[in-house]
């Protein structure tokens, strides 16, 4: 979700990696378009990148996560009601080999935010 495309990340350098070339520049003009399989492209790029420390940036991300947690729908008192995003938390359980399939758009956002995985360790 980008919001208003005319004002989306005006000062950012955008990189788009996609296996489907028709998706590149489809919604947002990018600075570095790369066509290819994400895993292959990253495996080729990572060895040439120099490791760097980003303590300030990681601190900012932690601050945003804490702020977001306070406003998160699953942390709100909704009485006996159950919101759709909460279903990911309730139904997600601890399935190591689960395959999760969603429609595009809001469903993807809810899954990304609420389906519990071990990869979401801050």
What is residue 35's predicted lDDT score, i.e. its pLDDT? Answer: 97
Q: What is the pLDDT along the chain (122 residues), one digit of tens a residue?
A: 567 888 888 889 999 999 999 999 998 889 999 999 999 999 999 888 888 899 999 999 999 988 887 777 667 666 666 666 666 655 555 566 677 777 777 778 777 777 766 654 44
Domain ranges of the chain: 1-49, 72-122
What is residue 23's predicted lDDT score, i.e. its pLDDT? Answer: 93
What is residue 63's predicted lDDT score, i.e. its pLDDT? Answer: 92
What is residue 104's predicted lDDT score, i.e. its pLDDT? Answer: 78
DSSP sequence for 97-110: T------STHHHHH
What is residue 121's predicted lDDT score, i.e. its pLDDT? Answer: 45
What is residue 122's predicted lDDT score, i.e. its pLDDT? Answer: 45
Q: Is 114 exposed, middle or buried (0-12, 13-18, 19+ CB in 10 A)?
A: buried
């Amino acid at each position: 979700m980008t919001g208003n495309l005319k004002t989306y990340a005006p000062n950012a350098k955008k990189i788009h990696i996609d296996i489907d070339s028709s998706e590149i520049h489809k919604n947002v003009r990018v600075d570095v378009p790369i066509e290819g399989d994400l895993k292959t492209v990253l495996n080729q790029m990572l060895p040439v990148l120099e490791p760097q420390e980003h303590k300030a940036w990681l601190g900012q991300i932690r601050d945003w996560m804490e702020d977001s947690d306070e406003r998160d729908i699953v942390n709100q008192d909704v009485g006996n009601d159950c919101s759709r995003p909460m279903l990911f938390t309730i139904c997600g359980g601890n399935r190591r080999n689960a395959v999760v399939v969603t429609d595009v758009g809001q469903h993807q956002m809810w899954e990304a935010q609420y389906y519990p995985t071990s990869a979401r360790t801050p």
